[in-house]
Amino acid sequence: MSIQHAPEDLALLDPTEAGACAQAALVSEPIDETAAAGLAQVFKALGDPVRLRLVSLIGARDGGEVCVCDLTSAFDLSQPTISHHLKVLREAGLIDSERRGTWVYYRLVPSALERMAGVLSVPVSSRPSGPG
């Protein structure tokens, strides 16, 4: 975030460049409460249809950046509501923003998404070999 926002909390404190197929997975070993709380915040941010579409709209954009006005016009929701959802995504570390003149542009944080993808990946060793 590069605007007037305070650092807030930021759920992803270790945005390493872990690939999408890394084995730092949820199912490798039981996670502790602290890790669960941090990951849950990000998943909760993704657990809303509007926010999911916002992430998709931003990520699918060619230049990687989308103006807030374009995002607001894509929904039948008020501008403050969209702003609220963007804040949730920003506090989860999933998106970043930059002000240029009057407009504010949002972009994805790919490492954050990939980290979550890595968390969900299931190592072959953890997959049940038979149907039962």
Partner DNA sequence: GGCATTCATAGACGGCTGTCGATACAGAAC
Partner DNA sequence: GTTCTGTATCGACAGCCGTCTATGAATGCC
Q: Which residues would be at the binding site for a copy of itself (CB under 8 A)? A: 20-21, 25-31, 33, 36-37, 39-41, 43-53, 55-60, 64, 98, 107-108, 110, 113-114, 116-122, 126-128, 132
Structural contact between residues 89 and 51, judged by C-beta atoms closer than 8 angstroms? yes
Q: Does 50 bind DNA (CB under 7 A)?
A: yes
Q: Indicate the SS3 state at residue 8.
A: coil
DSSP letters, 13-68, are S------TT-S--TTTS---HHHHHHHHHHHHHHSSHHHHHHHHHHHHSTTSEEEH
- Partner touching 26 among DNA, a copy of itself, none, CB below 5 to 8 Å by kind: a copy of itself
- Binding DNA by CB under 7 A: which of 68, 74, 109, 117? 68
Q: Does 112 bind DNA (CB under 7 A)?
A: no
- Partner touching 23 among a copy of itself, DNA, none, CB below 5 to 8 Å by kind: none
Q: Does 16 bind DNA (CB under 7 A)?
A: no
Q: Taking the complex as a whole, how short is the minimal distance between the CB of residue 35 and DNA, in angstroms?
A: 16
Options 13-21, 31-39, 71-79, 108-116: segment touching DNA (CB under 7 A): 71-79
* Of 9, 35, 13, 36, residue with least CA distance to 91: 9
**Paired tokens of 20:** 């999408």
Structural contact between residues 2 and 96, judged by C-beta atoms closer than 8 angstroms? yes
Residue closer to a copy of itself (CB basis): 69 or 120: 120
